[in-house]
Structure formats: C-alpha cells, structure tokens
Amino acid sequence: MSADLAEPPPPNAGPGAGPSVGPSAGPGAGPGGGLPGADLAEPPPPNAGPGAGPGGGLPGPAAAHAGAVRPGVPSGLASAARVFEHRAYQYRRAFRGSLFGSFVNPALFLMAMGLGLGGIVNARSPGAFSGVTYLQFLAPGLLAGSAMQQAIFESTFPVMYGLVWRRIFHAMYATPIGPQAIAVGTLAWIAFRLALVAAVFTIVAALFGALKSPLALLGIPAAVITGLAFAGGMGAFMATQRTPDKFSAIFRWVITPLFLFSGTFFPISSLPAALQPIAWLSPLWHGVELTRGATLGTLLDDPILTLIHVAVLIGLAVGGGALFVRNVRRKLAA
Amino acid sequence: MSAAAEPRIAPSPGPGPGPGPGPGPGHGAAGPGAGPRANAGGGRSVPRAWHLIERNLFVYRRTWTIIVSGFFEPLFYLVGIGYGLGRLVGDVTGPGGTPIPYAAFVAPALLATGAMNGAIAESTFNFFFKLNYNRTFQSILATPLAVRDIAIGELGWALTRGGLYAIGFMAVIAVMGLVSSPLAILAIPAALLLGFAAGAVGMAATSFMRSPQDFDLINVFTLPLFLFSATFYPIETYPEAVRTIVTWTPLYQGVALIRGLTVGVVGPEMLVHVAYLVVMGSIGLWITARRLDRVLLK
C-alpha cells in the first residue's frame, strides 16, 4: 500500500491538522464510518517528505548525544515544556475551527439525544435515572466518552507524524530533548487539549441546564484523566507501528463498543445481568461514573467508589504513560 | 457523457492555465465535438471504470479488516441504542402512524446513516488524498482511463462497499425480526441510491477542497444530518416549522424511504424520495466530472 504514497507530505497536514480531521470534540461517530479517519485505508503520505526521509539530514542518535553536552541543557521538565510549546504553536493554526467544533458538536448531541430523544425517554421511563432527566444523565456520559475519543485521536496521528511520517520526534531527539520529555510533553499537550474541550463542553452543558451541582467543575479533571487513561496506552501502541492501519480496527472493535456500553447513553442496569460486571473492566465506565458523580453532585455519596474510579483511571494513565515513554525511547534509539 | 479521447493528449499544449469554466472543447470532456474517438470510447466508460474498482480492491486486500469492521459498527449502534436505550424508550411512532419497537425504528435509520457515512468517507477523505497528495489519479490518467472513468470508478467502488454493508446489515436485522415486510429487500437498492447521492455530492465537494482541514466542514453537514433526520426519534417530535426543514434534507429522504420499506408502509411519496436522491446524485456526479477535468487536466 505504501506504493501508493510516494508524494511529499502535505504542507499543512502536520499534527495540528491531522487530528482535527477527526471529530474535534464530541462523539462524532456515526455508524458506518462516521469518523473519516477510521476508514483510512490510504493514509496521508508517509515519511517521503523533503528532509524527512532516511538520510534526509537527520542526525542519528549518536550525533544527537554528541551534542547533548552543551551549556544550557534544559532539565527534563523544561524539555517537556518545549515539546508542549511545539504542539501549541502548531495548534494556533487550527485553533478557531477546532474550538468551534468542540462547542457545536456537544450542543448538537445534547439537543438531539438529550432533548429530542430525551423527551420520549423521560415520558416513558421517568424513574430510570434516579430522579434526574435523561439530558442530565447523558451529558456527563458524552463528556467522558468524547474525552476518550479525543484522547485516542490525539495519541494516534501525532505519534505517527512524530515517529514515522515526518519524524518530528526524531528531530527533537537530535536536540538535547530526550525520549522521556518527548512522551511526557506529548501527553501534557493531550491533557491540555482535553481540559480545553471539557471546559467548553461544561459550558455548553450548563447552558442546556444539564448540570445539577457546582461540583460539575470537577467533571473537567474527571474527563481529563478519563482521556489520559487511554492516551498513554494508545500512544505506546502507535509508537510500535509503521502505519496507522490498525487504528481503525482498534477504533471499531474497542473504542466504539466502549463508547456505547459503558453507561454513556443508558445505565448499565439496562444491559443483561450477565454482562453488567463486565462494565467494571471498561476504563470508560469508571470515567463516566466519575464524571457523572461530578455533574450530578453525587461524588461524595460513596467516597470509596469514587476513590476506586480515580485510582483505576490514574493507574491506567500512569501505566500507559510509562509504556509510551518506553516505546518512544526504543523507537528513537533503534 | 462520452469519455472520449485520450485525456493525456487532451490538454493541448497551447493554452496555458487550463480550461475556462465553460467551453473546454479541447478537453475531450464533453460536447459532440470531442473528436473522432468519442463514440468509440464512450460506451466503454463503465467497463474501464471497473479497473479502478479492481485497483481499490487490491489496495484493501491487506487492510480488508477495515471493511469487515465497518459492517459491525452499525450493529454495535443497533444493540447499544436500539436495544440498550430502547428498553427505556419502548414503542415509537413508525411510518403510517403505527407504533413499532424502538429497535425496529432505529435499524433502518442506521442502515441509511451507514450508507451515507460510508460513501462520504470513501468519497471525501480517501478521495482527497488520492486526488491531491498521493497523485493516484494523475498516475491513472497515464493509462487509457479517462477522467470520467475515475469519477465513475471511484463512486462505483464506494457503492460496492456500501452495498456489501447494506446486504450484511439487512440480513442481520431480518434475523433479529426487525423487518416486517418482504419489501424490505428493496431497502438494499435504496441504501445504494442514498450512497450514490451522498458519495457523488461528497466527491463534488472534495474536488473543491484544498487542505485536510476543510474536512471539518464535512462534519458540519454530516453530524446534524446524522442526529436530526428522524434517525433516533420520530419527526413528529419537532414543531411544524422544523419538521418542514428536516423533510428537505437528504438523509431524511433516505431514512424515510428505507424505513418505509423495512416496515412495509409504502406510498407514492416513496417516488419523491427516490427522485430527490437521483437528482442529487446526478448533480453531484456532473459537478465532479467537470471539476476533475479542470483539476486533473491542467
């Protein structure tokens, strides 16, 4: 297939543009390939770009480290900040469009599903959501679910650009920035994007009257760690790949089922009893429960359970992040 | 339209910046004056376009799981929304005003949405990269295939894929008992027609796009269509004014057509839906062919 892809990469299809091709926020997934990226059989061109090809002016690791002993070598944290800054500069270009999307998409979803379908659900099953309307039930589910989707996108194509298509990570590695800083800086950027999207979502949800408690502000960090619980692992996996081919399979077989069956659109008590314990295995379910606890103000009703959700998500985020660091290091050192 | 003389020769060396909007007689694109071989080539457009479908099959042979997985995605939605959420919804008003189970209401909408989204994914995102970055089409033009063959072939490929999904999905929902009429078999060509209309318009739109960021615009259209076309709840939910607007959107036309067929409530308005989609697809295809002439033969 790469025979199809002999042309230089698009001038402006850098990571800033790549991920924004997907749903910029909000669950954009429709059935049958609602996500353009998910159907991508012929991806944006790979590393044939000027200066990015093998031998195209990339110093090898040895060269990188020969230059590493220089005055003013930044600390690990400062290096990660540089990586973050790099993404921030790229994002400036896509900023307006993506912010618009992160505002409009949740508004459309809340309108159609929360109000339109919700009207019918509320009339037919008034007691199904323990005293809240379907809109109030749905909003935190969508918030956590779209944080997951956003995190998956942000840890897929940017990693491909970094390690394969344009080798931006290799270029960073040729400076005093190390693999750990590259991975951590990338994850920090993802966290920042998630926070931005979640904040916009929270504002929209508030306008719809979908939030019940001032604790809803905690829904923003809850959505961020939900996303991060997926970002590290996904980034770690993509760091081992030469093409994004497996991405669509992961999206369809893992992400979409998680999105639909983790208590996002309906309580898992609607599932057959035998399936309900499986929800515990879904990281998204923990994220949805946590986010919902925040927006409904029930976070402190069962503090132990809340702590379990937090622990699961943070554990996954840290574990996935560590794997991501390891795989980026291996790939760059190879 | 006759696919006409070799496109390689067509962009005659003289006029520099390419065709003006209207009369590009030298382009073999259109018109009776397209040259002596016009008639000879014209009839073969469809068989030649087949080569493009074959090419795409080869491209996907290593990533066929993408195609297979595309079949399961609507099923996940059907189980999650149709049954999971459906337990809380109960029956809703179907075509003709009869109440039907929520899953039977949502299933045809998912078939329609899948047909539309599948065709759009193929005809926008993949088409764009082949057109602009991979230069796939430029390479193809170095063969006896003409611009029109590309347009027809790409659309044919998108429909082949969409048709496979439609057949699979129909088989599953029939087994699940969500189909209440033998007319439902017609839902497969209906889904193809919707895919044709959406794919043709998607290709036409893509031919105007300059950067991948323009794809955000596609979501601006497809997401509201997906959510508001009487897909998840009956159109009667809307106030009268909104209802009229929704009635005129393409996905609603497709959903109404397909739902009418799977539920078995058909009437003369079905012909309106069909005509709407035929006209929409034809316009899209016509624009695409003209645009490709300009973009590829410059």
Say what percent of chain B tops pLDDT 70.
Answer: 83
Do B8 and B147 share a structural domain?
A: no
Q: Which residues of B touch A39 (CB under 8 A)?
A: 66, 70, 118, 121-122, 125-126
By the CB < 8 Å criterion, does A217 face chain B?
Answer: no
Q: How many helices (H) and strands (E) does chain A have?
A: 12, 0
Residue B63 pLDDT class (50, 70, 90 cuts): low
Do B228 and B112 share a structural domain?
A: yes
In this model, does residue B3 exceed pLDDT 70? no
In this model, does residue B185 exceed pLDDT 50? yes
Tell me the pLDDT tens digit for each residue of A185-213: 999 999 999 999 999 999 999 999 999 99
- Considering just the CA atoms, what is the radius of gyration of chain B in Å? 21
In this model, does residue A55 exceed pLDDT 70? no
* Contact flag A17-B211 (C-beta cutoff 8 Å): yes
Listed residue (B107, B69, B230) closest to A256, CA to CA: B69
Count of domains forming chain A:
1
* Contact flag B227-A112 (C-beta cutoff 8 Å): yes
Residue A127 pLDDT class (50, 70, 90 cuts): confident
* Contact flag B69-A43 (C-beta cutoff 8 Å): no
CA atoms within 13 A on the CB side of B33: 5
B225 vs A271, higher pLDDT: B225
Burial of A258 (0-12, 13-18, 19+ CB in 10 A): buried
Q: In angstroms, what separates the C-alpha of A12 from chain B's closest C-alpha?
A: 7
Say what percent of chain B tops pLDDT 90.
Answer: 41
Bridge partners (DSSP) of residue B100 are: B92
In this model, does residue B232 exceed pLDDT 90? yes
Least confident of A44-53, B65-74, B217-226: A44-53
Q: Which of B233, B237, B249 to mutate to test the interface with A (most CBs of A within 10 A)?
A: B233
Do B116 and B264 share a structural domain?
A: yes
B18 domain-assigned: no
pLDDT of residue B70: 75
* Separation between Cα atoms, residue A31 and residue A22, nearest integer Å: 14
Do B8 and B73 share a structural domain?
A: no
Do B39 and B114 share a structural domain?
A: no
A190 domain-assigned: yes
Count of domains forming chain B:
2
In this model, does residue A124 exceed pLDDT 70? yes
Among the partner residues B77, B212, B224, nearest to A108 by beta-carbon distance = B224
Element (H, E) at B93: strand B91-93
Mean of pLDDT values over B211-234: 86
B73 domain-assigned: yes
Element (H, E) at A304: helix A303-333
Q: What ipTM score was computed for the predicted complex, to two decimals?
A: 0.76
Least confident of A117-131, A249-263, B57-71, B215-229: B57-71
pLDDT of residue A106: 87
In this model, does residue A24 exceed pLDDT 50? no
Do B64 and B202 share a structural domain?
A: yes
Which is it for strands B99-101 and B91-93: parallel, antiparallel or unpaired? Answer: antiparallel
Please give the residue of chain B at the shortest CA–CA distance from A138. B85
Say what percent of chain A tops pLDDT 70.
Answer: 78
In this model, does residue A113 exceed pLDDT 50? yes
Interface of A with B in 78-137 (CB under 8 A): 94, 97-98, 101, 104-105, 108-109, 111-113, 116-117, 119-121, 124-125, 128, 134
B19 domain-assigned: no
In this model, does residue A316 exceed pLDDT 90? yes
pLDDT of residue A8: 31
Contact B249, B229 (CB under 8 A): yes
Do B149 and B38 share a structural domain?
A: no
Do B138 and B1 share a structural domain?
A: no
B244 domain-assigned: yes
In this model, does residue A255 exceed pLDDT 80? yes
Type of residue at A119? G
Mean of pLDDT values over A111-126: 92
pLDDT of residue A71: 52
Q: Which residues of B touch A101 (CB under 8 A)?
A: 216, 219
Mean of pLDDT values over A229-242: 95
pLDDT of residue A328: 95
A34 domain-assigned: no
Contact B173, B179 (CB under 8 A): yes
Which of the given ranges, A123-137, A298-312, B200-214, has the highest pLDDT on average? A298-312
In this model, does residue B34 exceed pLDDT 60? no
Q: Which of B72, B88, B122, B138 to mutate to test the interface with A (most CBs of A within 10 A)?
A: B88
Do B1 and B128 share a structural domain?
A: no
Q: Which two tokens stand for residue A209?
A: 């009257």
Mean of pLDDT values over B240-263: 94
Q: In angstroms, what separates the C-alpha of A11 from chain B's closest C-alpha?
A: 9
A18 domain-assigned: no
Among the partner residues B59, B121, B130, nearest to A1 by beta-carbon distance = B59
Among the partner residues A31, A41, A270, nearest to B84 by beta-carbon distance = A270
A308 vs A92, higher pLDDT: A308
* Separation between Cα atoms, residue A140 and residue A135, nearest integer Å: 9
By the CB < 8 Å criterion, does A30 face chain B?
Answer: yes
* Contact flag B212-A44 (C-beta cutoff 8 Å): yes
Residue span of the structural domain in which B109 resides: 44-296
By the CB < 8 Å criterion, does A201 face chain B?
Answer: no
Q: Which of B58, B130, B134 to mutate to test the interface with A (most CBs of A within 10 A)?
A: B134
* Separation between Cα atoms, residue A135 and residue A110, nearest integer Å: 7
By the CB < 8 Å criterion, does B218 face chain A?
Answer: yes
A176 domain-assigned: yes
Mean of pLDDT values over B55-78: 79
Do B48 and B32 share a structural domain?
A: no
Bridge partners (DSSP) of residue A153 are: none
Contact B128, A43 (CB under 8 A): no
* Contact flag B134-A30 (C-beta cutoff 8 Å): no
Residue span of the structural domain in which A178 resides: 96-333
Mean of pLDDT values over A44-51: 40
Which of the given ranges, A136-145, A246-255, B23-32, has the highest pLDDT on average? A136-145
Place of tokens 């002016």: A57
Contact B173, B262 (CB under 8 A): yes
* Separation between Cα atoms, residue A235 and residue A227, nearest integer Å: 12
pLDDT of residue B46: 62
pLDDT of residue B175: 92
Listed residue (A190, A189, A224, A197) closest to A103, CA to CA: A197
pLDDT of residue A22: 35
By the CB < 8 Å criterion, does B64 face chain A?
Answer: no
Distances (CA, A) of A120 to A126, B83, B84, B125, B236: 10, 15, 15, 36, 11
Distances (CA, A) of B291 to B20, B144, B205, B298: 11, 20, 10, 11
| Sequence-ordered list of residues with C-beta below 8 angstroms from that of A103, at least 6 positions apart, any chain | A25, A200, A203, A204
* Contact flag A4-B136 (C-beta cutoff 8 Å): yes
Listed residue (A22, A102, A98) closest to B215, CA to CA: A22
Q: Say what angle helices B64-77 and B147-175 make with each other, to 10 degrees.
A: 50
pLDDT of residue B56: 81
Sign of the four-CA dihedral B14, B19, B20, B23: positive
B21 domain-assigned: no
A305 vs B42, higher pLDDT: A305
Do B280 and B199 share a structural domain?
A: yes
Among the partner residues B80, B89, B222, nearest to A120 by beta-carbon distance = B89
CA atoms within 13 A on the CB side of B265: 15
In this model, does residue A36 exceed pLDDT 80? no
B2 domain-assigned: yes
Q: Share the mean pLDDT of chain B.
A: 80
A25 vs B58, higher pLDDT: B58
Least confident of A64-78, A296-310, B283-297: A64-78
Contact A5, B126 (CB under 8 A): no
Least confident of A3-7, A85-89, B64-68: A3-7
Please give the residue of chain B at the shortest CA–CA distance from A134. B88
In this model, does residue A18 exceed pLDDT 50? no
Do B281 and B215 share a structural domain?
A: yes
B172 domain-assigned: yes
The count of other CB atoms within 10 Å of the CB of residue A190 is 28
Least confident of A112-116, A165-169, B289-293: B289-293
Q: Share the mean pLDDT of chain A.
A: 80
Element (H, E) at B100: strand B99-101
By the CB < 8 Å criterion, does A271 face chain B?
Answer: yes
